[in-house]
Structure 1
Amino acid sequence: MKYMIIGAGGTGGALGFYLTVAGKDVTLIARGAHLDAIRENGLFLETGHGGFSVPAEACTMEEYSARVEKDAGECPDIIFVCVKGYSLDETVPFIRQTAGPNTIVIPLLNIYGTGKRLQALLPELTVTDGCIYIASEIKQPGCLLMSGDIFRVVFGLRKDTDSRTRTVSMPVLKLVEADLSDAGILPILSDQVERDTLRKFSFVSPMAAVGASYDVSASAMQPDGPLRQTFISLVEEVKALSDAMEIPLPEDIVSINLKIMDDLAPTATASMQRDIKKGHQSEVDGLVYEVVRLGNQYQVPMPVYGELADKLGF
């Protein structure tokens, strides 16, 4: 199995690190100072259990495309897409250039519905849905900081996948499941991936919306108070939306998400919030504004999302 990971940041970099340590065939697509540092010193992962470095295969999109053009055997079996939502469209031409006819694309983004959107742009390939649970970020070029021990990858075929594609793809996805497990990553090959990715979104979107709107970390949402209640209200609005979309979340999703919130490090923030604070491009459109648009589409009131979307510049 050849793995190509587009994006070597907190999610893609950590994924590549673990798979590489497990002896899997992995190439990271990176750029700039981060790529230079990986090439020179390997990829370093800092965790609560210490720091570890591994020689990692990394290159630019252009270099990987040239490699495939020279030898079609270099086409990846699996492409993990681990970029920010606003960069997703930029990956499409590259995926077309490097994928083989049987390559499977697994997007692991925070934004709900990414797989379906990417599938429409790549009708010739099989694109799953997916999401990732990890607290990790680039600390400095070539170095990732991973907080906590949670590392879970959820992926699977959507319900609208035709039977032929399902028959061809499932054995390959089973191999991915085994490789992730070998690498010490918890794999969940889901038969209800729309629900399971929406479940993650129901946490990360409210957390990002509250954090960015009020410039606070998890510590402000952990005790009882107005910001915790705002977080709860946002989760309830996503739950109402999920019911209207006929992808119902668990009835106790508020309690589930509060438990996740309370288990976070008090200093934890969402990457969207950090990007906004730095003046960088962010995923606010997909994580916040899109929820308001979906509410209008499905005629579900979104008063709190609407308020925070306006606060964030919708």
Structure 2
Amino acid sequence: MKYLIIGAGGTGGVVGFHMAQAGKDVTLIARDAHLESIQQKGLTLQTMWDENTKTIPVKASDMQHYKDRPDVILVCVKGYSLDGIYEFICRIAKPQTIVIPILNIYGTGAKMQEKLPGMLVTDGCIYVSANIKEPGVILQHGKILRIFFGVRQKEEKCQLLEQIQKDFRDSAIDGILSEQIQRDALEKFSYVSPIGAAGLYLNATAGDFQKEGKARELFCTMIREIVALATAMGFPFEKDMVSVNLQILSNLPPEATTSMQRDVMAHRPSEVDGLVYEVVRMAHRYQVPVPAYEKVAQKLQGEIMCEKNSHTEGNVEIKREEK
């Protein structure tokens, strides 16, 4: 099968590297110096847990020059970039093409499905910590590399999804075709949203959360608020998500930060709307108290509004909805 990965950063770059290394037909959509370096020198993956560095050839293109017809499209861009890829997907996709978003923001698949009628858009999420170190070089912070994906309606399930799972696993990626993808996506959200929100609120690194103290306490409190929200939404967790997420956190190097933190600190567009403000909106909708999220959202809203003249963060309105 032909795979297209839109986005060649810490998510798409790692996935594309492993799939290309396993001999899968995969192409990365990248841009600027990152694209030029991949095309000329190959893609390099470095890992923080050892000195292993490897460079391999990986097919790469920009959206303008990509002419193929992929069987599977993995969407690995940030949430604020989605509007810029729909026209491209419609141009290059076949009627049978499957689109798998593996973004940080919960509910992305359903929103994309509305924009791509006639195609199958699944839900999905990924566990990986990595970033672009320099053009053509991806730095992976932790060993975990796991993708959950699946359909929201059972009647949408098809045999091709099982082949995708096999291709992931052939590529040293822990691919899981989920029967409960909305719950599994919320489980991932219960980590990435609290760690991003608390990290940005306290300007904290993984090391701050790995030890007892204010940062760890806030992180755990926000996880519990997501747990309560998931239950109200009808997707109760079957695990102790505080323990699960603390275990994930323990595998990261102390200096690690989230992509949202790095984006905000660099005055770039960020996913703060989908990872923080959206939680407050959802909590109001389902009438779930989230005082920690309210506190964090109010502070971040005030700080980021100062940057609104140069960066648009989307709808940051978090007032309580009318019942």
Q: TM-score range by the shorter chain?
A: over 0.9
CA shift for structure 1 position 240: 0.7
Determine the structure 2 residue equivalent to 1:187: 175
Q: Which residue number corresponds to residue 154 of structure 1?
A: 148
Q: 2: distance between equivalents of 1:147 and 1:225?
A: 23
How far apart in 2 are the matches of 1:251 and 1:26?
35
SS in 1 for 2:64: helix
Aligned-pair distance for 1:262? Answer: 2.6
For residue 120 of structure 1, report the CA deviation from its aligned partner: 1.2
Report the TM-score when normalising by structure 1.
0.93
Distance 1:17 1:257 in 2: 26
Residue number in structure 2 paired with 1:59: 61
Listed as ranges, the matches of 1:249-260 within 5 Å are 249-250=237-238, 252-260=240-248
| Superposition map of 1:46-125 within 5 A | 46-47=46-47, 48-64=50-66, 67=67, 74-125=68-119
Alignment length (residue pairs): 300
Q: How high is the sequence identity, in percent, across the aligned residues? A: 50
Alignment of 1:1-314 (within 5 A): 1-47=1-47, 48-64=50-66, 67=67, 74-158=68-152, 160-161=153-154, 163=155, 165-166=156-157, 170-250=158-238, 252-313=240-301
Distance in 1 (alpha carbons) for counterparts of 2:227 and 2:83: 28
One-letter amino acid of the counterpart of residue 132, structure 1: I
Contact 2:150 2:179 in 1 (8 A): yes
| Post-superposition CA distance 1:3-37 (Å, at most 9, x none) | 00000111101111111111111111010000011
Determine the C-alpha separation between the residues in 1 that align with 2:263 and 2:101: 21
Q: Which runs of 5+ in 1 are unaligned?
A: 68-73
Q: TM-score, normalised by structure 2?
A: 0.91
List alignment gaps of at least 5 residues for structure 2: 302-315, 317-323
Shift of 1:49: 4.8
3-state secondary structure, aligned to 1:45: strand
Q: CA separation in 2, counterparts of 1:36 and 1:141? A: 8
Q: Report the Cα offset of residue 177 of structure 1.
A: 0.9
RMSD, aligned α-carbons: 1.1
Structure with the bigger percentage of helix: 1
d(CA) in 2 for partners of 1:62, 1:263: 39
Q: Shift of the alpha carbon at 1:257?
A: 1.5
Contact 2:80/2:271, CA 8 A, preserved across alignment: yes
Q: For residue 27 of structure 1, what is the amino acid of its counterpart?
A: T
Q: Deviations over 1:38-88 (max 9, x none)?
A: 111011111235111111111110111xx2xxxxxx310000000001101
1:118-169 residue CA offsets vs partner (Å, 9 max, x unmatched): 11111210000111111111000001011222111111111x35x2x32xxx
The letter of the residue matching 1:277 is: M
The alpha carbon displacement at 1:229 in A equals: 1.1
Q: Does structure 1 retain, via aligned residues, the 8 Å contact 2:231–2:237?
A: yes
What's 2:320 paired with?
none
**1:107 Cα deviation from its structure 2 partner:** 0.3
1:17 maps to amino acid: F
